[in-house]
Amino acid sequence: MSTRSTPRVLGAALAAAVVVAVLSIKLSTFRDYQIAEIAIEVTAVAGLTVLTGLSGQISLGNGAFMFVGAYTTALLMMHLASWPFIAVLVAAAAVTAAAGAVVGMAAARLHGPYLAGATLLLSVALPALANAYPGTFGGDQGLNVVFTTPGFLGVNFPLTRWQAWVCSAVALVTLVLLANLSRSRVGRNWRAVRDDEVAAALAGVNVARARVLAFVVSATCAGLAGALLAVVTELVAPGAFTITLSIALLTAAVIGGLGTLPGAVWGSLVIVLVPTYATDVATSHGLSTSVASNIPIAAYGVVLIFVMLTFPQGIQGGVRWLLGLVSISPARTRPVASGPDATPPAGQAPASQRGAPLARRTDPPESHEKEETL
């Protein structure tokens, strides 16, 4: 990452942290929960947008990696209660990274719909382990997670606010690290593999290693999101990690803009806030329960269709387009002098006079003789 962009990314992360802290203090408990949920989605979608947008690998298995991170967190906090939460978070990320490396090596030769199908099978089969081993994973009832507010914040500090702060901090650190990674040599290798694997291999890029590394990074982000989901919901059950979750994560990455980290934020805002507000509108208009339950799905589809038709590159692509219309470059509005006799800068002759000696110069006879012999 260039030295110019590093302070800008850190400054944006710091500003976002201040905004989240102020909002969590001013808003209600439910809004704190929504902030935590958005941060969880941002963490997972950011890893997926790197996998799909930068390396060009379509994955429907990030819900399974969230399952791994969530259950790892629940088991560690249950059996190793003395561990600090940061250690549990690192352990969950390491376990999920190992799982991502295994899946990445197995799927290194798969492309397109074949890779999507393989990861889809993973997201369907892996949560079934909870029912296969109920003594360890708790079966359908899942595992309870105990997460409390640290003592230095005081007894009256709201737990939901602390959860929002923790989730937002992890999401911001993840975004900063991914921003550095995407602008490094690793990110350039991913883009080369995405554009043309043969050309990337001829340029010296280890294609298989780059693809596996992208899977590891995406799985690590999903594992962190699963760990955060475990401490926010305080319950880890297989019903929370269905194929719907994986599809929602991929949809958020597409809506926000594949390959862009701000797009992960936009997509997360859409998949968290749109269903909530659609449900509120349906309830306020007195619709029946059966009809109101389908309103969020319909609103979700309408937003997806609208964004794809209006901004094919996602919301972030639309934002860039709008900013390009607003910001007019001074070079475009600068008057351009026309004609050969336009006033030149001080110390230079007009263009017509500078070009005149060149026009009158002729080649020596020797040069014509050499051209005739070639």
Average pLDDT over residues 256-267: 90
Phi, psi for 235 (deg, rounded to 5):
-155, 135
Higher pLDDT, 221 or 124: 221
CB 97 within 8 A of CB 77: no
pTM of the model: 0.82
Long-range contacts of 205-213 (CB under 8 A, 24+ apart): 208/108, 210/55, 210/186, 211/55, 211/57, 211/104, 211/108, 212/101, 212/104, 212/105, 212/108, 213/104, 213/186
- 236 sits in which H/E element: strand 235-236
Where would I find the H helices in the chain?
5-26, 29-49, 62-79, 85-106, 112-125, 129-132, 134-137, 159-182, 185-195, 197-202, 207-233, 243-256, 261-284, 289-292, 295-310, 314-326, 330-333, 351-360, 365-373
Q: Which of 36-45, 198-207, 302-311, 333-342 has the lowest mean pLDDT?
A: 333-342
Taking alpha carbons only, the member of 25, 99, 22 closest to residue 67 is 99
Question: Could you tell me the pLDDT band of residue 364, with boundaries at 50, 70 and 90?
Answer: very low
Locate 133 and state its tokens. Answer: 């081993």
Report the alpha-carbon distance of residue 311 to residue 257 in Å, rounded. Answer: 9
User: For the segment 307-353, what is each residue's pLDDT rounded down to a tens digit?
Assistant: 888 888 889 888 888 888 877 544 444 554 444 444 555 555 555 45
Residue 144, beta-bridge partner list? 235
Angle at the Cα of 196 from the Cα atoms of 219 and 208, rounded to 5 degrees: 45
Average pLDDT over residues 17-44: 93
Most confident of 33-42, 256-265, 322-331: 33-42
Q: Look at residue 124 in the predicted model and tell me its pLDDT.
A: 87
Q: Which residues neighbour 228 within 8 Å (Cβ) at sequence distance 6 or greater?
A: 36, 39, 40, 43, 166, 167, 170
User: For the segment 133-149, what is each residue's pLDDT rounded down to a tens digit?
Assistant: 888 898 888 899 989 89
